[in-house]
Structures are given as structure tokens and as C-alpha cells.
Chain A
Amino acid sequence: MKAFEYVGAKSVDQAVKALTSGSAAMAGGTDLINRMKDYVTSPDRVVYLNDVKELAGISGDSGTGLTILSGTRLSDLLANDSIKKSYPALWQTASEVGTPQIRNMATIGGNLMQHPRCWYYRSGFGLIPKSSDGKHMLREGDNRYASIFMTDGDALYAHPSSLAIPLIALGAKATLIGPDGERTMDVAELYKVPTSNTESPFASRPGEILKSVSVPAAAGKNGSFEARHKQAHDWPLVMASASLTFSGDTVSDARVVVYGVAPLPWRSKAAEEAIKGKSVTLDSARAAGSAAAEGAKPLSMNGYKVAMLKTVITRTLCVTVGNRYWEV
């Protein structure tokens, strides 16, 4: 990696001041260091956030809502009983990230702000990998892990943060802090779709770091389901989270978000509409899964993700109401 200056920040204030142009913030380091080793990201300065005590911890409860500071380790998030009990969508997803070693280092902020795993990006071709003659390398090449939605555009990679999925489903807010103070937005608004390799896939401004995410008071039921190749240390191929509120047996409101199908966390309004006003049965969940797949435009190799998406939506909805039908 390129030689860099190291700043061990002790406070948010120090961190923000140190994050001048060409700097990178590092929390657990499980993504940044790999990018630096591969010369995908070569900062002049690394600002280490791990010793910033005011960035770690979970406060509140499921009755009032939770605030999770960005430096909270995934292992600490998993040890939180309130999250396990009331936000199973988040807990389940966090439990499936990486390995125990990674979960002991990785933070929720780092997970949300990680860069795409796309192998063209990691090979140094950028998020929109094009050859010198203008060919889109991911569209023409090995796109088995790429998106199946928004594929008319140029950003074809799949969004990498699995924790963003339940957080968006739960309606969480993210607070950024930077030279101009704090600002709060929906977690979904942290992300944008670049149209060139010089654009960032994040909405954060230079010098801003993620301070916290706030999850509203638990209401209704929520759950996640992940389809992955390996049991040990793997990324999801497709996963989803759902947050459902009920009026009696029928779903009055639904938020369904999907991983692995778009360059953003994919909010499946089609699935939400399909399940609203219905009770969650295998049939209604399957109908929602089929609805979610409508409009998908897979690339040359990832048509399998359409079938997988239907299943993942179906199972996510069923899991949310405690129906693990496929296990029988």
C-alpha cells in the first residue's frame, strides 16, 4: 500500500478536523485495509476512529427506539438483548456478516460505508468498469454477482452493505457529522448511484463521518432471510429484510428491502404493495416474491438471481411471521 500519515483520533472533533482532503477514516479496517493493499484506495492520511469513545455504544430500547453509535462492533450489536428480541431483522443480518473475527473488529459504521465488493472495482477498474474502447466490462464480462435492477444504467455492481437492508426496512435514520456540524437523513439516503468513476457512491461530504444510526421504536414484526453459497465467511447472494405492521391479521404497512439486486439497497415497493392488506401466508408471500421480481433485467450471467429474489422475498415475509416453511 501507499505510505500514509496516521492520525489516532481521540474525539469526534479531532477526527473531523483531521479528515482533510485525501484522508480516509478507518474504524475496524476490515474493508479499508484490503482496498489499500490492493491500491484501490490510497489515502495520504488514515484517521483511526477506534479509540474515539464517544462513537461506540448502544442507547435506548425497543420502546423508544435505539441509537447505535457508528463505532459499535458487530459483536456488541449481537450481544444486545433488545436488538435480538425486537429487531430480529437487524440481529440476524449482523450475525451472518463475515466471521467471528471480522465481527469482533468490524463496526456498524464501517459496514454501512464499505465499498462495493465488485471484482472489477477491486481489480482497479472502478465502479463503472469500462475498457479503452468503451466496452462495459461488467456487462460484457463475469456479472454473476451483479445487479438485476437498474441495469439500464452504468452502475451494475451490487450494493455491499447487508446491514443497510434491515436498517432501511426498520426506517432507521443516519446522522453524519462533519466540519459543518451534524445532519440526519434516512439510511437509504446515505447512498447514491455514481455515473462516473470519479463520483462517490456515498452522499457524505468530504470530511464527514457517520456518527450514528437511530432505529425507531419497534412496531409490528420484522425479519431477514439470506441466501448465500457458503455457510462460513461469505457474502449474501441475495438477502432481504421486511418490517411489517398489522391490523389484526392483515398487513397494514410494509417495508421490504433487498440486497444483491441493485447498486443501492433495493426497496421493493412491488413486494410491499403485494403483501399489504393481506395476511402473510405462503401463498401471499409467494405472490409478493413474484411481484418483486417483475421488472428485473438480469445481465448475461445472473438470471438465477431472479429466481433467488422470489424465494428470498417469500422467505423473508414468512420468517417475519415465524413461518419457516422450507425447513419441513
Chain B
Amino acid sequence: MAANSWPEQTKLINTRIPRLDGIAKASGKAKYPSDERPDGMLFGVVLYSLHPHARIKSLDTTVAEKMAGVKAIEVIAGPGKIVRYHGDDIAIVAAETEEQARDAVRAIKVEYEILPHAATELQAMAANAPEVVKGGNVRKGRAQITGKPDDAFAKADGMIEAAYSVPVVTHVCLETHGLTARWDDKNHITAWASTQAVTATANELAESNEIPVSNVTVLTEVMGGGFGSKFGADIWGTSAARLSKKVNGRPVKIFLDRIQEHLAGGNRPSASAKIKLAGTKDGKITAMVAQTHGTGGVARGAQFPLPYVYSIANFSREHSDVFVNGGNARAMRAPGHPEGCIIMESAIDDLAAKLGLDPVEIRKANLAPADFRTKIYLDEIAIGAELIGWKQNFKPRGTQKGIMRRGLGLALHQWGGGGANDKQVSCTISSDSTIELKSATQDIGTGIRTVLAIIAAEVFGLKPTDIKSNIGNSTFPPGQSSGGSTTTPSMSPPCYNACLEARDELFKKIAPSLPGSPSATDLSLADGQLLIKGQPAMSFKDACRKIGMNSISTLGKSSPGLASNGVGGVQFVDVTVDTETGVVKLNKIVAVQDSGLIIDKLTWESQVLGGVIGGLNYGMFEERIVDPTSGRMLNPDMELYQLAGASDIPEIIVHAYEPADQKKRGVIGIGEPPTIGTAAAIGNAVSNAIGVRVTHWPMTPMNVLNALAQEGKA
């Protein structure tokens, strides 16, 4: 009997419960896929192109093949093939040690025909630019036109005309991309993969090796970050499997090094906009015209939503994807949304300043009346404003004179976060009282292993640590790939149903053997006890002994009413800007987030914190820097590719917006939304502080000083 709502009263659900694998992860005991060392493992190292654009004329592996420890070489881009970016794969060497593989990679002789490159957007958009892809480097998308923007501009009380841009940022997963593949026999592959989709990885390994998918086992016990960039087996995974086959099944490990991770592990496309925004004195936005572009390297993906969040009756927008000789974009935490949020929220803030309006009020005036989120936004804005001290601390833009200037900013965001309805979780109860959950999903960091255990423990009246919550295995019942903030809403409902059904089976099975022969409906579970008509009768453990030799096993499916879709959210930022050095100091960030019913408030909060920290990196530090002459990325490391350290992270206040009507919505995913608005809100706070708009992200001293100099105020 599948459930259509979550229980009203809960002991565990909606409380703060530590991750089951938290201590193991924090102490280093947890074994990540890249930590695995199956017997006989070889190390694979990738030879990649230093040239942004070249044709391989010849490739000679004879010297490398004979080098110590070298067991096999896989050529990816042989003679005649084109490499399209710094970091594009050419060949992979498998050797006994990583050092031997690295030495052999350098011994592969490659002769290149260097082709002209367009590694930056400026180069790619120039007249007579070398073609990165057939048909030109600038691909215009469908234009959006709504209403009559020209008329609306003519009638507006005020307007702004501005340009904003944010650079490409790379994925920088702490655990790099890769997997270790082993041919177990002629027909079976086992892979230890750092992936956010064990089933997708299994499918791709099966397909590329032409074996049935049932013969592939992909294992991801834990993993070190994916953010949207780790779907599928990747060229490195399929190559590891091919190399393993060449060496009679010895496992081959291919995980990217840090440089390659930056170059080829995926990135968030850049975004640039020329935008006009017009409004009335009372703060109603009447028109928007925008031309935008961005690059996803040698792939599309640079589109983003605009207008964003706000309702604008008259607008037109044209967007172009620009192709450059650079590593291609991959989905990154809320693809497109942080970009759209930066452009929209900057423009609305600049318009507010122009019209002399409070940034909070102009936002409230432009929410879509028909959108269910509007009421949520209004509540969240009020809560966030209170937490940041907007009333006491906000000063209108341009009113500060000192060296150190404090500013406040905010941004709104939105996301879906609904689940898939075709996923399954199995629940098995054995007579030794083991409760095991299984599903082929994986924990990209959301805490899904713990979430499933919490749901089971709630149903069985146990502790989450009593539950064996087994995920990260592609041979388990179909589980959700972790993308689009869909894991928790996809997996919680089938888990709940599996547990309810297993519990009912248990009751049915043991009722006849219980004292007084109660009916199954007389039984309940709480605090580790079996209750008969509400009275504790025996321990759960003793009750399970009555199951006998054959375990109880159920396969739970999704049912309506347990999950929902669509969230809002608002973030406020408090900064201090040193106007003489351009250094921005974050004082405080407030994140107010709705997401239906929160299963585990602790992992939920951790998700929001992670999102905010990712967002503040986007706002403050990150930038892929490419040399126009060589076409090479200049900062593929963790030194000059800047990321926040502990002391760069301010106080972050996370507020869960969850009145009763939110909880009734059921579970909604939270991975993406809290990373969207941070960078936009930071930009707005900086502009509020210094009185001028910093038009280029991130908020580096260079960009801030340049903005001040532009205005003649430095």
C-alpha cells in the first residue's frame, strides 16, 4: 500500500542526524574510488595536447612501449585526428607505477600540424577567426520576444544600459574524474568509479565494450564531488576498460591529475550581457532588451535563463553560443542559473539605484503574481532582511565616503528539484534483524545514504545506524542519477514505500506466532520494540527471529504525494570593501531556502552551506585564464586558480523556510538552488558599498579597482 503522504508525527524525519559515513569521511577512513587498489592494478596516465588546435600528423609509441613497466598503450587521437583544446586527449599509457606511466607518456613522439586557434571569446568572435566548428564560431539561438519593449522603453520613468560578464569557471572536483576498470573474466567488468551516476557509467562501459549491461558492476561507495560533471564513463573510463582488456584483465586506474581536471573535467560557461532595463517610479520593471553570449568551449551549453525570476511584460533577448578552442562545458550545479541570476540581479539593482528605490522593494514589486513562489519569496525576503539587518544597515548606493565601505546586497533564485518517479529501493528484513536497503543511486554529497536510513529507521522504530543503507552499486535496483537536485526526491518515496511494505509483511508473517495471536493491524514498532495494541511486547530483534529462514524483501516504488517540484530562495550578503586596495571582505551571508519537507536537517544545511561556498567562490575568486597567444590555460592548479580557504569564508546563516504548508509538499531536492544567488548578491553588495557597479566577475581587487577608476573615484 504505497503511501501518499509522510507521517505527521516523526521522531527522526525533519531532525538533525549526522551522516552515517561522516566520521569515516572526515577521518580519512572512507575509501574513495580513487583510493581503490585492486590486486595487480596498473596506473594509466593520459597524454594530452598542449596545443589548442592541431592535427596529429604522426604518433610513434615504439619507444614508450619498450619502457620499464609499460604494459599497454591506447591511442585516442591517432594520425589525421584533430585535437581541439589544451588538454584534449591523445593517448593513454598503462604501466606498473604512475611514475613509469608518466615517463612513457613523455616518450610518445607526436608530430603536430599546428592549426590556427581561437582560444578566447575575443579571438573566436573576431572577423576571419579560425573556425572552431564548422559553420562558424558564433551560433545564434532563437530570439525571445514578448510584448512591445520599444514602446515600453519610450514610456518608462527611468532606464539603465549596462554590460556585465562572468568568466568560465572550471569544475575542480576534489576527487578528479576517473575510474579503475577490471575485466573479471572475458565477459564481465568491475569498475570503481567516481561518478554521480553508477547506472549511466555501467551502461556506457557495457555499450563501448559490447557486453551486456548486466555484466558490468560499477561501484561508488563514496565519491569526492561531481557537481554535474561526472555522468557517464567518459573517455578515460572507456579507455581504462579497453586497456584492462589488453592486459588480460589487470585493473587499470585512470584518474585525471589536477591540471587535466581543470582542462578537461568540465566547466561552467562564461556569460556576457549587454542589457537595457526600464521601469516606473514605483518600481515596476516595464521592459528589458538583452544581447547575451557565452562560451562552453568546444561545446554548446552557454545559454542561460533571462529574464530570471522576475516578471517582465515586454522584453526581447538574443543569445549566441560562442565556440572557442577550450575544454568543453559540462553541467555545473544549476546550469545556467547563476549566470542568469548575475545578469538579472545586477540589472535590477542598477535600475533600483537609478530610480532611487530600495533594492528589496523593487524585487518585491516585480514577482510574478501567478507564480506559487511569489508568496514564498515575500516571506523569505522578510526573513532574510531581518537576519542581515537590512533596515538598520542598508545605505543607498553612492552615499558612503570612507575608505572602508560596507554594503548589502541580495539576489533571488529558483529551481525545480523534483524527482523521477520510476526509481526503486529494496528493503530486506532478515531473521537476525538486519534491515538492508539497496538502490543503484549514489551519494554525490547530498547525504542520500543517511536519508534512506532515516526513513527506514522512522518506519521500523530504530536508529539510522541500525540500517544497512547500501547504495553506489549499479547492479542494485534502479536508482537515480544525481543531477538536477533529483536524488532525494526520487529516492525517498520508493524507500518509504519499500519500508512500509516490508514492515507490513513482517507484521503479517509474525502475528500468528505472537502471544494472544494478535492481528497484523494490532502491531506497531517504536524505540526498538514490537508493540501489540500499543504495549511493548518484545524487542525488534526478538520479533525478527520469528521471521524464520526466508527473509522478507520488498521493492518499493514511487507514489504520488511524497515529493514535489519547484523552489525559490533568497540570499543576502554583507561585505566590506577596501576602496584603496579593491579587496572585498565578506562579512556575512544569509541563505533562506525553501524545499518542501526536509528529511535530515543537518545534511540539508550542509548542502546549503556547500552551495553558498561554491557560489562565493564564483563571486569572489574563480576564473579560467587562457593565454591568447598559446591558447593554453594559465592557471590549471589550485594556487593561481583561486578558491576560498577557511579564512575567506564568512559567517553563513542558513535558514530553512518550512512552514506547515511547505512540509506538506513532500521532498524536493536542494543540491542546486543554494549556489545560484550568492555571486549575484555579492556583486550587488560590492556595488552598494562602493557606489559603482563592478561589471566583471569575480570581485577581485583588479576588477574592483578598475571599476572605481572607471568612475574616476579611485
A residues in contact (CB < 8 Å) with B: 1-3, 99, 117, 119-120, 122-123, 125, 131, 135, 137, 140-142, 144, 227-234, 237, 301-304, 307-308, 311-312, 314-315, 325-327
Residues B583 and A227 in contact, CB atoms below 8 Å apart = yes
Residues B709 and A125 in contact, CB atoms below 8 Å apart = no
Residues B627 and A228 in contact, CB atoms below 8 Å apart = no
Kindly provide the distance from the CB of B289 to the nearest chain A CB, expressed in whole angstroms: 30
Q: Is the interface of B mostly helix, strand, loop or mixed?
A: loop
Select one of B626, B627, B635, B648 contacting A231, CB under 8 A: B648
Kindly provide the distance from the CB of A88 to the nearest chain B CB, expressed in whole angstroms: 20
**Chain B residues with CB under 8 A of A308:** 581-582, 701, 705
**Chain A residues with CB under 8 A of B635:** 119
A interface footprint on B237-249 (CB within 8 Å = 1, 0 otherwise) = 0000000000000
**Chain A residues with CB under 8 A of B702:** 144, 301-302, 304
Residues A140 and B642 in contact, CB atoms below 8 Å apart = no
Show 18 A/B contacts (Cβ-Cβ < 8 Å), sorted by A: A1-B102, A119-B640, A120-B627, A122-B637, A140-B628, A140-B629, A141-B634, A142-B625, A227-B581, A229-B700, A231-B585, A232-B647, A233-B645, A301-B702, A304-B706, A307-B705, A311-B581, A312-B581
Bound-state Cα–Cα, A141 to B633, Å: 12
Bound-state Cα–Cα, A123 to B635, Å: 9
**Chain A residues with CB under 8 A of B634:** 119-120, 123, 141-142
Interface centre among B403, B581, B627, B709 (most CB of A within 10 A): B581
Kindly provide the distance from the CB of B708 to the nearest chain A CB, expressed in whole angstroms: 8
Residues B642 and A229 in contact, CB atoms below 8 Å apart = yes
Residues B632 and A123 in contact, CB atoms below 8 Å apart = yes
Residues A119 and B630 in contact, CB atoms below 8 Å apart = no
Bound-state Cα–Cα, A87 to B581, Å: 25
B24 touches A (CB below 8 Å)? no
Q: A231-B645, A326-B580 are in contact. List 20 more A-B contacts (CB 8 A).
A: A3-B99, A123-B627, A123-B634, A140-B628, A141-B628, A141-B629, A144-B702, A230-B644, A231-B585, A231-B647, A233-B639, A302-B702, A304-B702, A307-B580, A307-B714, A312-B581, A314-B580, A315-B580, A325-B403, A327-B404
Name the CB-closest residue of B to A231: B647
**Chain A residues with CB under 8 A of B625:** 119, 142
Kindly provide the distance from the CB of A5 to the nearest chain B CB, expressed in whole angstroms: 15
B621 touches A (CB below 8 Å)? yes
**Chain A residues with CB under 8 A of B403:** 325-326
Kindly provide the distance from the CB of A113 to the nearest chain B CB, expressed in whole angstroms: 18
B residues in contact (CB < 8 Å) with A: 99, 102-103, 403-404, 578, 580-583, 585, 621, 625-630, 632, 634-635, 637, 639-640, 642, 644-648, 700-702, 705-706, 709, 714
Kindly provide the distance from the CB of A168 to the nearest chain B CB, expressed in whole angstroms: 23
Bound-state Cα–Cα, A135 to B627, Å: 12
Residues B627 and A232 in contact, CB atoms below 8 Å apart = no
**Chain A residues with CB under 8 A of B648:** 230-232
**Chain A residues with CB under 8 A of B632:** 123
**Chain A residues with CB under 8 A of B705:** 304, 307-308
**Chain B residues with CB under 8 A of A307:** 580, 582, 705, 709, 714
Kindly provide the distance from the CB of A258 to the nearest chain B CB, expressed in whole angstroms: 14
**Chain A residues with CB under 8 A of B647:** 231-232
Bound-state Cα–Cα, A233 to B632, Å: 24
Residues B701 and A227 in contact, CB atoms below 8 Å apart = yes
**Chain B residues with CB under 8 A of A233:** 639, 645
Closest 5 CB pairs of A and B: A232-B645, A304-B705, A119-B634, A311-B580, A231-B647
Asked if A228 meets B583 with Cβ closer than 8 Å, knowing A137-B630, A304-B702, A308-B705, the reply is yes
Residues B582 and A304 in contact, CB atoms below 8 Å apart = yes
Bound-state Cα–Cα, A135 to B102, Å: 31
**Chain B residues with CB under 8 A of A228:** 583
Name the CB-closest residue of B to A131: B629
Name the CB-closest residue of A to B403: A326
Kindly provide the distance from the CB of B117 to the nearest chain A CB, expressed in whole angstroms: 12
Residues B103 and A3 in contact, CB atoms below 8 Å apart = yes
**Chain B residues with CB under 8 A of A1:** 102
Bound-state Cα–Cα, A120 to B626, Å: 11
Bound-state Cα–Cα, A232 to B585, Å: 12
Asked if A232 meets B583 with Cβ closer than 8 Å, knowing A120-B627, A125-B630, A140-B629, the reply is no
Bound-state Cα–Cα, A144 to B639, Å: 15
Residues B630 and A131 in contact, CB atoms below 8 Å apart = yes
Bound-state Cα–Cα, A311 to B625, Å: 27
Name the CB-closest residue of A to B584: A229
Name the CB-closest residue of B to A304: B705
Residues A326 and B103 in contact, CB atoms below 8 Å apart = no
Interface centre among A123, A301, A315 (most CB of B within 10 A): A123
Bound-state Cα–Cα, A301 to B206, Å: 50
Name the CB-closest residue of B to A135: B629
Kindly provide the distance from the CB of B584 to the nearest chain A CB, expressed in whole angstroms: 9
Residues B629 and A237 in contact, CB atoms below 8 Å apart = no
Bound-state Cα–Cα, A275 to B626, Å: 41
Kindly provide the distance from the CB of A17 to the nearest chain B CB, expressed in whole angstroms: 28
**Chain A residues with CB under 8 A of B102:** 1
**Chain B residues with CB under 8 A of A312:** 581
Bound-state Cα–Cα, A326 to B579, Å: 10
Residues B642 and A234 in contact, CB atoms below 8 Å apart = yes
Residues A229 and B706 in contact, CB atoms below 8 Å apart = no
Asked if A326 meets B645 with Cβ closer than 8 Å, knowing A229-B700, A307-B714, the reply is no
